[in-house]
Amino acid sequence: MRHAQGRARRAGAALAAVLTWAGLLAGAAGCTSHPSGGGIGEAFGKAPAPEDVIRVVPDDGSKGVRPERKLLVRVPSGRLESVKVVKSQDAQESPVPGRISADGLRWEPKDPRLSLAAKYTVDAIALDGHGRRSARHTTFTTYVPDERFIGYVTPENRSTVGTGMIVSLEFNREIEHRAAVQRAIRVTAKPAVEIRPHWFGKARLDFRPERYWKPGTQVTVSLRLRDVEGARGVYGLQYKTFSFTVGRSQVSVVDAAAHTMQVRRSGALLATVPITAGAPKHTTYNGTMVVMEMLELTRMNGATVGFKKENGKGEYDIPDVPHAMRLTDSGTFLHGNYWAPDAPGHVNVSHGCVGLRDVKGGSSDTPAGWFFDRTLVGDVVQVVHSNDKKVAPDNGLGGWNMGWKEWKAGGAVK
């Protein structure tokens, strides 16, 4: 599912002992219906939609926003509890300073002018006039001059990631001269390993080694795109070098038939956790997925991914899903669940997500909180024994589902 999201902490704390969540019969699926048959949309239908509680300007998903446009977060009633705005530019994140007004109704940035060629992420939590908490996550990108192109790079500069991370560049416009652009991008590693590119269409270029990165690897991404012609009359803007570090190895295997997830560090079993996966009509993808981002609290609305009732409203609309870890662009999450406590370990009830037991508001003492606290962006999650197809290589960071020979054939430079 495609849900609104909020960026959250990335935790990699070492574990001192192997834990087993035996006997915790609780459940989660950010895409679930309650096993008793009552729809989540019914259970949460009276709560206002987060976009009605928290208003963000520019609109979510806006592109080409001019630098003179005003950035504003407000609530018509109640109060803003927290607002976090992050600017991503050339794979480097920086916070956008701002303040909440004394009456709690508005947040505005200290510097009103937006930066060119940047992506802005807004995460806000607020209480409405009835004391109900909502979270909202929005993004927008700012204007890039017509004769220029840029690539938005994943992961972030100086980040520590899991061994499954794939270097991915999303270009702001289609690239016609792919070989020229590919030659201007170099990805290297210490210790050295062969790294190859693969194009998905004309606006995305991913890089990966044949197998997962070794822990401790230092990866450097050099963009020499300035003045490189990507399409007729359109030239690159960036001349930057980024780097990231590969942390410890963690691979989690979700068995949809057994309703369990085995979490392993460096091959050793860390824990076996009860889970709930996709229900028979909404099965979970098989295959290898990578944690793309981590959200302490987010909204999940079925209407955004096609799960609608006859009246057009989502089959579910949960404003405060805790401990959400995105696995695909199409909306598969591994997340906490407090509304289906009897599902994990017993029955699959979600709309395609993988659910772990949690409590409203989230807690580190639950299976979902425990896993969230020990997960890095870039960690691997494998799903087996689900009655569904394998996830597509371009759905999220799914490139590990493509064989090495086919991957190498996807480069523009032969």
pLDDT tens figures, 341-384: 889 999 999 989 999 999 998 999 999 999 999 999 999 999 99
**353 in active site:** yes
User: Tell me, what's the pLDDT at 179?
Assistant: 98
Same domain, 349 and 389: yes
CB atoms within 10 A of CB 16: 6
Could you tell me the two tokens for 190? 């210490």
Residue with tokens 């080409």: 64
The pLDDT of residue 303? 52
Question: Are 193 and 171 found together in one domain?
Answer: yes
pLDDT (0 to 100) of residue 1: 43
Q: Are residues 370 and 279 in the same domain?
A: yes
Mean pLDDT of the chain: 87
43 pLDDT higher than 50: no
Burial 279-317 (b: 16+ CB within 10 A, else e): beebbbbbbbbbbbbbbbbbbbbbbbbebeeeeeebbbb
Domain of 243, CATH number, reads 2.60.40.3710
pTM: 0.71
| Distance in angstroms (rounded) separating the CA atoms of residues 152 and 132 | 36
Report pLDDT for 93.
Answer: 86
Q: Do both 186 and 234 map to the same domain?
A: yes
Residue 29 lies in a domain: no
CA distances from 362 to 65, 92, 190 (A): 35, 29, 38
Average pLDDT over residues 298-307: 67
Residue 412 placed within a domain: no
Mean pLDDT of 276-298: 95
pLDDT tens per residue across span 208-222? 999 999 999 999 999
Query: Which of 92, 126, 142 is the last residue before a domain boundary?
Result: 142
> Domain containing 325 — which CATH number?
2.40.440.10
Q: Is the pLDDT of residue 274 over 70?
A: yes
Give percent of the chain above pLDDT 70.
85
Give 113's pLDDT tier (boundaries 50, 70, 90): confident
Of 242 and 3, more confident: 242
User: Is residue 116 one of the residues assigned to a domain?
Assistant: yes
Q: How confident is the model at residue 99 (pLDDT cuts 50, 70, 90)?
A: very high
Phi/psi at 82 (5° precision): -155, 150
CATH number of the domain at 115, please: 2.60.40.3780
CA atoms within 13 A on the CB side of 364: 5
Mean pLDDT of 393-405: 98
Q: How far apart are CA 383 and CA 360, in angstroms?
A: 26
Mean pLDDT of 136-147: 90
Domain termination site, one of 209, 228, 247:
247
pLDDT score at 89: 86
In this structure, the answer to whether residues 207 and 285 fall within a common structural domain is no
Looking at the structure, tell me whether residues 253 and 392 fall in a common domain. Answer: yes
Q: How many domains does the chain have?
A: 3
pLDDT at 72 over 70: yes
**pLDDT score, position 48:** 79
Tell me which of 166-175, 265-274, 314-323 is least confident.
314-323
22 within some domain: no
| Assigned domain for 215 exists | yes
Average the pLDDT over 144-155 and give the result: 90
Residue of 3, 137, 351, 353 with catalytic role = 353
Active-site residue, 282 included: no
Confidence bin at 9 (pLDDT 50/70/90): very low
**Domain annotation covers residue 274:** yes
Q: Is the pLDDT at 268 greater than 60, yes or no?
A: yes
Report the pLDDT value the prediction gives residue 117, as an integer from 0 to 100.
Answer: 87
Instruction: Give the per-residue pLDDT at 346.
Output: 96
Is 376 found in the same domain as 254? yes
Quick one: 96 and 234 in the same domain?
no
Q: Which of 111, 126, 142 is the last residue of a domain?
A: 142
Considering the domain architecture, whether residues 206 and 265 belong to the same structural domain is answered as: no
Residue 171 banded pLDDT, cuts 50, 70, 90: very high
Type of residue at 396: G
Which of residues 46 and 85 earns the better pLDDT score? 85
Q: Where are the beta strands (DSSP E) in 286-344?
A: 287-290, 293-301, 317-326, 333-337
- Is residue 316 over pLDDT 70? no
Burial class of residue 248 in the structure, from the number of CB atoms within 10 Å of its CB (0-12 exposed, 13-18 middle, 19+ buried): middle
Q: What is the domain extent for residue 301?
A: 40-44+249-399
Measured CA distances, 181 to 189, 222, 346, 382 (Å):
20, 12, 50, 32
Instruction: Judge if 222 and 289 occupy the same domain.
Output: no
Model confidence pLDDT, tens digit, residues 228-259:
999 998 989 999 999 999 999 999 999 999 99
* One domain, residues 187 and 78: no
- Please indicate whether residue 19 or residue 95 has the higher confidence score (pLDDT): 95
Supply the pLDDT for residue 115: 87
pLDDT of 326: 97
Q: Which of 137, 259, 282, 335 is catalytic?
A: 335
User: Is residue 98 assigned to a domain?
Assistant: yes
Cβ–Cβ under 8 Å, residues 299 and 325: no
152 in the same domain as 71? no
* Higher pLDDT pick, 46 / 193: 193
In a domain, 19, yes or no: no
pLDDT of residue 150: 94
User: pLDDT exceeding 90 applies to what percent of the chain?
Assistant: 73
Residue 32: pLDDT above 90? no
